[in-house]
Amino acid sequence: MTVHSATAARLHVDHDGNGEPLIRFEFGSASTDPRRVPCDHLAGPSTESWYAGEINERADTCGAAWAHGEHYACCALTVDEVDGDIEGAAANAYQRLLTCVRPSAHPYLIRIWNYFGAINQGDDDQERYRRFCVGRARAVDGLFNDPPPAATAIGTGTDVARVQLIALCARAPATALENPRQTPAWRYPRDYGPVPPGFSRGALLDSDTSEPRLLVSGTASIVGHVSQHVGDAAAQLRESLANLAALLDEGQRHSARRFEFANCETLRVYLREPDDIAMARAVIAGSGLPAERVLYLRGDVCRRELDVEVEGVFGGR
């Protein structure tokens, strides 16, 4: 029988905007703040606040921002591309990120968000997303891939040539999760680029406490490594939710805690086509997810044939 500590949650997510969060996500491309997600807000809560207890240090300088708490820290930064060199910008961004994080009191990368424009531009191995993956792979260290953190990569509607990283870091490593319905992204075959994407499907945090959290990576309509339901965004969203449910089951298997749709703290739904918002809200309404905790953003999925992606945070009970 598993015995859990009575320690309260070290991390939780809400949309109330009260208190001092470790990270407060706002949305839209009208700011150069490295913490602001450069995707237009379509519906749902307009902010997303990640709380991690008292904040000991906070700074914002030279295109980077960070905040440190006891157990968790946030680091956000932007790197401009030079002459459209997304590979070089990705390498530079990840080198800067590791330089900031590894010597710190929070050396473990738990969850990363990657945003940049024109993610699907270019053919075959010259696609910008594939070049981004090459740049990231050449910059990261062995610890990054053992195993890789949970992550999302989304294309933005902005024409600003810039790579933006937002990272949640921790004093202790998370438990990386993979989805039994999907090939691990870091094991994708050569068909998807010179190097596979560097992320795990999810991260399980604080399983020694009474309230663990499961952080879900960007999750799309992929079974094995093959895209499903091309041309049907509603079916893609339903498949993405099936993948989400399978990952929550994996979280239970690793923690002896139940992770359910009803205990969603936040869910982001990225839509390539804003006109799909009514469809997406209808699918979510029938899923058992709390509608008041779901926000909808305009964003391009890293696979050009797919139109929707989800990510989120779930509490364990």
Full set of structural domains in the chain with CATH: 12-316 (3.30.1330.40)
Which pLDDT value is given to residue 7? Answer: 62
Mean pLDDT for each consecutive 10-residue tract of the chain (317 residues)?
Answer: 57 90 90 89 97 92 88 96 97 96 96 97 97 98 95 91 96 97 96 96 93 97 98 98 98 94 98 98 98 98 98 96
Dihedral angle, C-alpha 270, 274, 278, 284, nearest 10 °: 0
Closest CA to 259 of 182, 207, 185: 207
As a whole number of angstroms, the distance between CA 36 and CA 31 comes to: 7
b (16+ CB within 10 A) / e for 122-158: eeeeebbbbbbbbbbbebbeeebeebbbbbbbbbbeb
Give phi and psi for 92, each to the nearest 5.
Answer: -60, -45
The letter for the amino acid at 130 is R
pLDDT tens-digit profile of 214-261? 999 999 999 999 999 999 999 999 999 999 999 999 999 999 899 999
Which pLDDT value is given to residue 2? Answer: 46
- Distance of CA 114 to CAs 30, 101, 162, 218, 316, Å? 18, 16, 11, 10, 26
Which pLDDT value is given to residue 4? Answer: 47
Which pLDDT value is given to residue 60? Answer: 86
As a whole number of angstroms, the distance between CA 130 and CA 302 comes to: 9
User: Structure pTM?
Assistant: 0.96
Burial status of residue 260 (CB atoms within 10 A of its CB: 0-12, 13-18, 19 or more):
middle
As a whole number of angstroms, the distance between CA 199 and CA 265 comes to: 22
Which pLDDT value is given to residue 8? Answer: 65
